[in-house]
Structure 1
Amino acid sequence: MGGAPFDALMSLDPETFARESRAVINFLAGYYRDVEKYPVQPEAMPGCLRTLLPDAPPENGEQMDVILEEVWRHIVPALTHWQSPKFFGYFQANASTAGFAGEMLSTGLNVVPFTRAASPAATELESVVMDWMGKLAGLPDCFLFSGGGGGVLHGSTCEAVVCTLAAARDRALSRLSHEGILRLVVYASDQSHSTFQKGARIVGVPRSNFRVIPTSAASSYGLTAASVRDAVEADVASGLVPLYLCATVGTTGLGAVDPVRDLGELAREHGIWLHVDAAYAGSALICPEFHEYIDGAELADSVSMNPHKWFLTNMDCCCLWVASPAALTSALSTNPEYLSNVTEESAAGAGVVDYKDWQIALSRPFRAIKLWVVLRRYGGAGMRAYIRRHVEMARWFERALEADERFEVIAPTRFSLVTFPIRPWHEGDPGDDAVDALNRKLLVAVNGSGRAFMTHFMVDGKFVIRMAVGGAMTRMRHVQDTWELVREKAKEVGALTNDSGQY
């Protein structure tokens, strides 16, 4: 049943491209029509695909309809459906019609804009889009190209963190001896994303020089300037050099917010690079009511946020802004002869951006056109309405939890992340382990139903369930249905308000 041998000379034939692309689009349209019918998380056993697929690729190429049929029969049933309107785990991987269109243009044009000469329009569009996004999010002018800063589109926050850590490291080492790297210290809270610890190790900071600063319910699990100051001053007294501080706006576990201005003033005082990580909640900054959370950003050295989480932009797309592009490019630039281009020499002083010097990799996709299409298609007003709709859904769920004495809300719902556990279910103290076991059972029961998917977090030694609202297809009815599911499963696992079994 195999097809004819693959003809490499016709691999990008326009007619074949049009026909097979339409087949894929029709496939995906059918998938999205039916996605709500699938269990959000499948019951796929490890190795299930190996039992269904051959041990080796076909010798001869096969037709696209045959391939798509296998995707439908074997791949789709074993997926966790991130685009399901009932997916509330982790943070969303947003998608949209405009996001797909932009992704198709990016993939279809398939340019590699690592220097301006490699694709002038792609480079210039990226600098325009980064200024657009910065203005929309209310960032200070110092992060815009028009204000002396600038931005770049990375694949993930992890890449952005490594690049800014490298820039901070080189800035510090320029005034220290070569062995000074062993004295550099990185600071983050116990709520900060683990990528900062990984990034610090990658750029050579010793593991023992990474400070995880505790937070508490008293500060809604945000850092306090006092706790950071204590850690910094202790390190300075020990002969160490404070290097880099992360301030998070919307932490992964609880959606907590660190005080950017207070931390920025402390960072300036000690010459510390301040990075503001708004990977998730940065999308909400386009709404004026959330601007307070970025107050003091003019004191930061860098800011990042991920449009692929909550801004209708398909994976992958991370915005990184820096106040000093030179600090970034001096740490990351290379200038091999094969990348030089004599036609660009006349533009050397004209603000030309070579994005190869703003990232780890040389090769890079045309991400800017994807974000540009989303911005053009929905506009600022459309995106604000989109964000606010999810915020209202999350607050509805939070109010429902607060009205039910079986549950407690762990941290204020600032954006669209709700965090909660079941309370102890009878008088007296059943012990933390018993309560955690009950919450684990509840999460397993909810996810095992296939009717919703959530994840968990540990805070103060307590098992907490996370419900992140933000899917492109999620409506209020899905949130309300999930609340009924949580109540139903809480009853099944024994979450009663007293020993008599009354609610």
Structure 2
Amino acid sequence: MTIMSDAAAHAESASLLAAGRRPPLDAGEFRRQGRLVVDFIADYYARIDDYPVRPSVTPGFLTSKLPSTAPMTPEHDALAAALRDVRDLILPGSPRHFAHYPASSSNAGALGEALAAGLDLNPFTWAASPAATELEIVTDWLGKALHLPGRLLFAGGGGGTLMGTTCEAMLCAIVAARDAKLAVVGEERIGDLVVYCSDQTHFSFLKAARIAGIRRVNCREIPTSIQNGFELTGESVRAAVDADVAAGRVPLFLCATVGTTATAAVDPVAELGAAVEGRGVWVHVDAAYAGAACVCPEHSHVIAGAGDVADSVSTNPHKWLLANLDCCALWVARPAALVAALGTDDHVILKDADVADAVVDYKDWQVALSRRFRALKLWLVLRCHGTDGLRATVRAHMRMAAAFERMVRADERFEVPVPRRFALVCFRLVGVENEVNRRVLEAVNATGRAYMSSAIVGGMYVLRCAVGNTLTEERHMREAWSVVQEQASAVLATTGQHSMLRRNSF
């Protein structure tokens, strides 16, 4: 390969400018274009209430408007033209979106993303980027803010890392547990390994287990019930593990959830840990959503017991702690188990042998080799908001959810069939078939004035209102409830049914 001389490089830059084209990285143009993008985003947030919560489009609406190939030459003022297309065709979002656990946003989170992208660092080894690697100690900051047990933090012999999603975190934990177990029982027994979760556990756990080589027939989804609040019980886990041991299989991994997707149920971590004590089962706590609530001392009890039994814990700061997508924190009690399963080495990889035992190479804690500089964003969020600011955000959303719950309970046509947890309210028309509740949700979402989702738990179809968008205010909750009432009345009128008086509400 021929290396271009400095003179030739300057000449090529000059020829690009002469042709009206700038180099890909140009400070002056970056400043001009950056202002366009920042102004665009600021205008979007200022007018976000004007956008429908659910766009009226059909599949293929965007692809039909796009050329079949990329342009051969740059468009005139291409960025400005692209921003117009983003405004007209792509802009999403609304503070009236209550369907899913949110991806929360903040100025610090968005600008942290921009700063990380601009610096374009790849902290996959300490030698490749010492400062970016060491800044990941911010996981200890976060762990302490969430009242996590010390043994999961670097300060206590464990350690944390930042990934993209919970699925990645669970996959890495399962692989670490798998290899540690196979080193004891023999690799030929991989087909005997069994993992355990509840029927309320997020589907990403079973996806991760299958990717890790666990047979589908060895994935135990243990039933829960409304009587136990859809929480996994120690008794049911113990029975499942005993049955597998008696059949000659090898219990491997238990996933406990703090804040299930359907109802935000909290599995009793200490009880579950006691149920598998002495069995060599890796205990993982999936706190993707509700782990953020632990920033509030009054909610830190939901992860009580993890200090003694949890081998790993994960939570998503992008869900409720203002960190913007994507940001998942994974803590492990024994980092060496991750490194043993996922570690790689090659002469081409930049490493410093003299300090190898004193540094962390995060490429050995994850599936991918390259990685994003997520620590910068989380560090900025924690510095700009502080733990007090994060608590205020979480508590405000919980207050709005509680206000929504009160509105539901005040309408005798509705019930709250499971306790409100954190900022999620599950509700339904009482005394009607599931299909009627499904039609109510469909009608609510079709208005474009509110957007909610559903779940089927214990045979009941429930509507889910998850509060957590950064821009959601109390008025949005009142408007959303008004939409629900209007559409429920309309659906009941067309079906000729009348909801019975509320019953079985918690």
TM class by shorter chain equals: over 0.9
Contact 2:197 2:256 in 1 (8 A): yes
Name the residue aligned to 2:354.
346
2:110 to 96, 100, 103: 100
Name the residue aligned to 2:86.
71
Name the residue aligned to 2:224.
215
Name the residue aligned to 2:469.
471
In the alignment, does 2:92 pair up with 1:61? Answer: no
Please, which runs of 5 or more residues in structure 2 have no aligned partner? 1-15, 502-506
In the alignment, does 2:13 pair up with 1:15? Answer: no
CA distance in 1, matches of 2:497, 2:217: 49
Q: Deviations over 1:319-372 (max 9, x none)?
A: 00000000111000011111143xx2221232x000000110001010000000
Letter paired with 1:445: A
Letter paired with 1:385: A
Q: State the TM-score, normalized to the length of structure 1.
A: 0.93
CA distance in 2, matches of 1:496, 1:421: 18
Contact 1:224 1:258 in 2 (8 A): yes
In the alignment, does 2:34 pair up with 1:26? Answer: no
Q: Deviations over 1:254-282 (max 9, x none)?
A: 10000000111223321100000000011
Within a 5 Å distance, the mapping from 1:68-467 to structure 2 comes to 68-76=83-91, 79=92, 81=93, 84-126=94-136, 128-298=137-307, 299-341=309-351, 344-350=352-358, 352-425=359-432, 435-467=433-465
CA distance in 1, matches of 2:299, 2:418: 17
**Once the 2 structures are TM-superposed, how far is the Cα of residue 383 of structure 1 from its aligned partner?**
0.7
Cα distance change on mapping 1:59 and 1:340 into 2, 3 Å: closer
Contact 1:52 1:74 in 2 (8 A): no
Report the number of matched residues: 483
CA distance in 2, matches of 1:61, 1:7: 10
1:480 to 478, 488, 491: 478
Higher mean alpha-carbon deviation, 41-50 vs 249-258, is at: 41-50
1:39 to 41, 52, 58: 52
Contact 2:413 2:500 in 1 (8 A): no
Contact 1:4 1:60 in 2 (8 A): no
Aligned residues: percent identity? 51
Letter paired with 2:444: V
Letter paired with 1:135: K
Letter paired with 2:471: M
Please, which runs of 5 or more residues in structure 1 have no aligned partner? 426-434
**Once the 2 structures are TM-superposed, how far is the Cα of residue 74 of structure 1 from its aligned partner?**
2.3
Cα distance change on mapping 1:175 and 1:442 into 2, 3 Å: same
Contact 1:250 1:256 in 2 (8 A): yes
CA distance in 2, matches of 1:15, 1:334: 41
Secondary structure of 2:63's match?
coil
Secondary structure of 2:330's match?
strand
Q: CA RMSD in A?
A: 1.9
Contact 1:5 1:61 in 2 (8 A): no
Letter paired with 1:471: N
**Once the 2 structures are TM-superposed, how far is the Cα of residue 4 of structure 1 from its aligned partner?**
9.4
Contact 1:40 1:453 in 2 (8 A): yes
Cα distance change on mapping 1:51 and 1:112 into 2, 3 Å: same
Secondary structure of 2:313's match?
strand
Letter paired with 1:482: A
Q: Deviations over 1:71-103 (max 9, x none)?
A: 222223xx4x2xx11010111011111111111
Name the residue aligned to 1:494.
492
**Once the 2 structures are TM-superposed, how far is the Cα of residue 502 of structure 1 from its aligned partner?**
10
Letter paired with 2:355: A
CA distance in 2, matches of 1:311, 1:412: 23
Contact 2:125 2:350 in 1 (8 A): no
**Once the 2 structures are TM-superposed, how far is the Cα of residue 398 of structure 1 from its aligned partner?**
1.2
